[in-house]
Amino acid sequence: MGTAMSLDEDLITTSQQVSVESKSPRELAIARFQRDRLAKWALFVIVFYLVVAIFAPLICSLLGISPYALDGKALNDFGLPKGSFGGISGAHWLGVEPGTGRDILARLIYGARISMLVGFLATLVTTAIGIIVGVVSGYKRGMVDAVIGRITDLTLAFPSLLLMIALTRPIIQRLESFGIPEGNTSRIVYIILILGVFGWVYVARIVRGQTLSLREREFVEAARASGAGTWRIVFKELMPNLWAPVIVTVTLAIPGYVATESTLSFLGLGMLPPTASWGAMLGDSVRYYRADPTYLFIPGIALIVLVLAFNVVGDAVRDALDPKGDRQNIA
């Protein structure tokens, strides 16, 4: 009787396992991600920020606020917001900017556009460069790998923030002389360019490592044995197996670049007035920490929440793609 029971149980488990194994790795990953409730919330936050950024003009006009309209009446004689909590009122839900009386909510919404634009574009550029360099380096090995490896090390060792600061003005001028529209366009192009120059190494190193191990695997050898060319092996055999680590890097890179944009703005290398950006808001608000602390918290919290959301999603994606990870049971 006992043996029969256990046999039955074994049968059931086996059949269950069979049905589970029929799912593709991607379906499995999605299922694992969905079990992570925190990650789902974080994803919702990211989507919310994206929607707000994309529809900023619409949202602001619906709310009847403008990021550029001055409101001197909301300021006292010191140029500081009237009333407590940074001038929070029915007309200005998050208060007004000291000095000008511009609406902070509207500037936050418009600022999200710059931050997101820079974050996503910079990630796109660095990932594209990183994948190409990484695959070439890992697949070719030998001299090519050695040379690329040294370049990678050199780039990593560079004090990139210092260089970013030092190069800002000369490079922006050069860009403008190349016909890129002066003003904010050239500044955004510069930020993305410089982040691209320094950011690709992180992706490249991960991709190279992955490629090194993949290229020795049987399926690659099989492809090679059946006469597949380098291009086919790279694009059809290696690439599809690289997306997991790349996605993880990407989700962790975006908030990094959003924060970098803020840093540059904070250092005065960001957008030109009157454009709003979170970094510029932070840079400005820090000075008012004593006179108007509310102003400091608002852009700070917005940035923290976004960066945190991306990190949570990034972690969840990594866990979902890697069954051995230890955060599976978090749900």
Residue 76 touching another protein (CB under 8 A): yes
97, 168 Cβ separation under 8 angstroms: no
Asked if residues 93 and 80 have their Cβ atoms less than 8 Å apart, the reply is no
Q: Does 57 sit near another protein (CB under 8 A)? A: no
Interface pattern 161-200 for another protein (x via CB under 8 A): -------xx------------xx-----------------
CB 95 within 8 A of CB 104: yes
DSSP-derived letter for residue 79 is S
> Which of residues 263 and 328 has its CB atom nearest to another protein in the complex?
263
The verdict on 287 binding another protein (CB under 8 A) reads: yes
Name the residue nearer to another protein (CB basis): 77 or 326.
77
Question: Shortest CA distance to 110 belongs to which of 330, 284, 271, 221?
Answer: 271
Q: Which of 27, 50, 51, 79 binds another protein (CB under 8 A)?
A: 79
Report which residue type is found at 111.
Answer: G
Question: 3-class SS at 8?
Answer: helix
Distances (CA, A) of 143 to 138, 139, 156, 229: 11, 11, 20, 20
CB closer to another protein, 111 vs 245: 111
Closer residue to another protein (CB): 7 or 69: 69
Buried b (16+ CB within 10 A) or exposed e, 8-38: eeeeeeeeeeeeeeeeeeeeebeebbebbee
Query: Which range of residues in 19-27, 67-75, 111-119, 130-138 is near another protein by CB under 8 A?
Result: 67-75
Q: Return the axis-axis angle of helices 243-266 and 160-177, rounded to nearest 10°.
A: 80
* Structure tokens belonging to residue 152: 């990678």
Compare residues 187 and 205 and give the one whose CB is closer to another protein.
187
Nearer to another protein, 99 or 209 (CB): 99
**Shortest Cβ 156–another protein spacing (Å):** 24
86-105 mask for another protein (x: CB under 8 A)? -----------xxxxxx---
Which residues, numbered 289-318, are part of the site for another protein (CB under 8 A)?
289-292
Shorter beta-carbon distance to another protein: residue 284 or 315 = 284
295 vs 310, which CB is nearer to another protein? 295
Choosing from 60, 75, 164, 206, the residue that interacts with another protein (CB under 8 A) is: 75
Cβ 278 to another protein shortest distance, Å? 15
Inter-CA distances, 182 with 6, 14, 119, 175, Å: 76, 66, 21, 8
Buried/exposed 148-160: b ≥16 CB within 10 Å, e otherwise = beeebeebeeeeb
Residue type, 69: A
Site string for another protein, 250-269 (x = CB under 8 A): ----------------xxx-
Q: Read off the tokens for 128.
A: 């594209």
Applying CB under 8 A, the span of 25-33, 82-90, 111-119, 277-285 interacting with another protein comes to 277-285
From 45, 70, 239, 244, residue interacting with another protein (rule: CB under 8 A): 70
Tell which one of 64, 78, 157, 159 touches another protein (CB under 8 A).
78
CB 214 within 8 A of CB 241: yes
CA–CA separation, 114 vs 188, rounded Å?
A: 8
**CB of 190 within 8 A of CB of 171?**
yes
Query: What's the closest the beta carbon of residue 109 comes to another protein, in angstroms?
Result: 17
Binding site for another protein (CB under 8 A): 68-70, 72, 75-80, 97-102, 168-169, 182-183, 266-268, 272-274, 280, 283-284, 286-292
